[in-house]
Amino acid sequence: MSKSELVVLGQDDAAVCCSPMVREPLGEEAAVDLARMFKALSDPVRLRLLSLIASYEGGEACVCDLTGPFDVSQPTISHHLKVLREAGLVGSERRGTWVYYWVLPAALAKLSSLLRTPSGTAAGDVR
Amino acid sequence: MSKSELVVLGQDDAAVCCSPMVREPLGEEAAVDLARMFKALSDPVRLRLLSLIASYEGGEACVCDLTGPFDVSQPTISHHLKVLREAGLVGSERRGTWVYYWVLPAALAKLSSLLRTPSGTAAGDVR
């Protein structure tokens, strides 16, 4: 197998995730799916909730730890968590009294890959 | 300078762009700014428009080339382009009859970096 074939295989692997939009235009179906995920990120409280879960020690957070940092009611937090879950950005599980949340890394990676640019990225991301 | 110091410097460079949310929770102000950008991406037509501009040969597209692929009116396309411009995702310039649009790579890179995960990314992104 030649070196150039190997490179193409590497690109195929990345495409499973999401081809950067600077490389090829998005199809209609993919755009609907991705827009739904971006919509879940379009609220500042949801974005902070997601980042709080994502950066939590051990990679998951109890809902009991997620209300404190916000000036909104617990039902509002629950609503935002539901939106994040329905968009496929977080997973959740009830254990006893509390529900625990964790980020689904493949979903974040999909969006990250889509937005990747050949220039303007942090060193190390440039291909 | 030790090797570990060099790694830290590399992380600082990335932070200019946007620290991955898996590394640290977002602050309130940053979340408002980023949510506005994600809101611009939360519509399938806008997402396709952005990807069409981003992948256009030469890196910029005439508005005259951007209406054809969509089942929406020209004023709707203009509205979507305005939202993308106001979110800081594209730049534009009138030249003669037509307005030309290009993607602002630093904006895409900022969002891409924010969503980057240590696992679940395409090979080559893992740090």
ipTM given for this complex: 0.80
Nearest CB partner across the interface for B13, out of A28, A123, A127: A123
Q: Among the listed ranges A15-29, A98-112, B28-42, which one has the minimum average pLDDT value?
A: A15-29
CB-CB neighbors (< 8 A) of A126 in chain B: none
Lowest mean pLDDT among A17-21, B56-60, B65-69: A17-21
Query: Which tens digit of pLDDT belongs to each residue from A61-77?
Result: 999 889 888 888 889 99
Contact B17 A122 (CB under 8 A): yes
Lookup result for tokens 């009116």: B73
- Answer yes or no: are the C-beta atoms of A127 and A118 closer than 8 Å: yes
pLDDT of residue A119: 58
Radius of gyration (Cα) for chain B, nearest Å?
Answer: 18
> Is the model's pLDDT at B48 over the cut of 90?
yes
> What pLDDT score was predicted for residue A115?
93
Question: Among residues A38, A114, A32, A115, which one has the least CA distance to residue B44?
Answer: A32
Q: Name, in order, each residue with C-beta under 8 angstroms of A53's C-beta and a sequence gap of 6 or more.
A: A60, A61, A66, A90, A101, A102, A103
**Strand blocks (E) in chain A:** 60-62, 90-95, 98-103
Lowest mean pLDDT among A6-20, A102-116, B11-25, B39-53: A6-20
- Evaluate if residue B105 carries a pLDDT over 70: yes
- B38 neighbourhood in chain A, CB within 8 Å: 38-39, 41-42, 47
Using one digit for the tens of pLDDT, what is the confidence trace for B6-33?
A: 333 333 333 345 678 888 889 999 999 9
pLDDT confidence tier of residue A114, bands split at 50, 70 and 90 = very high
Distances (CA, A) of A15 to A109, A113, A114: 11, 9, 9
User: For residue B110, what pLDDT is reported?
Assistant: 94
Region B82-97: mean pLDDT is 96
Close Cβ partners of B1 (under 8 Å, ≥ 6 residues apart) = none
Domain boundaries defined on chain A: 25-115
Give the one of A10, A25, A42 whose C-beta lies nearest to B35's C-beta. A42
Interface contact flag, A117 B109, Cβ < 8 Å: yes
Q: What is the pLDDT at residue B79?
A: 95
Backbone angles phi, psi at A76, to 5 degrees: -65, -45
CA distance A45 to A31: 24
Residues in B closer than 8 angstroms to A10, CB to CB, are 123-124
| pLDDT, average across residues B32-48 | 96
CATH architecture group of domain B25-115: Orthogonal Bundle (1.10)
List phi, psi (to 5°) of B126. -70, 130
Q: Tell me, what's the pLDDT at B119?
A: 58
The count of CB pairs under 8 A between chains A and B is 182
pLDDT band at A17 (very low <50, low <70, confident <90, very high): low
Question: How would residue A117 be classed by pLDDT, with cut points 50, 70 and 90?
Answer: confident
Q: Please, are residues B39 and B111 in contact by the beta-carbon 8 Å criterion?
A: no
Q: Choose between A3 and A87: higher pLDDT.
A: A87
B121 CB neighbours in chain A (<8 A) are 17, 105, 109, 112-113
Looking at every residue in chain B, the average pLDDT score rounds to 81
Could you tell me which chain B residue has the CA closest to the CA of A24? B55
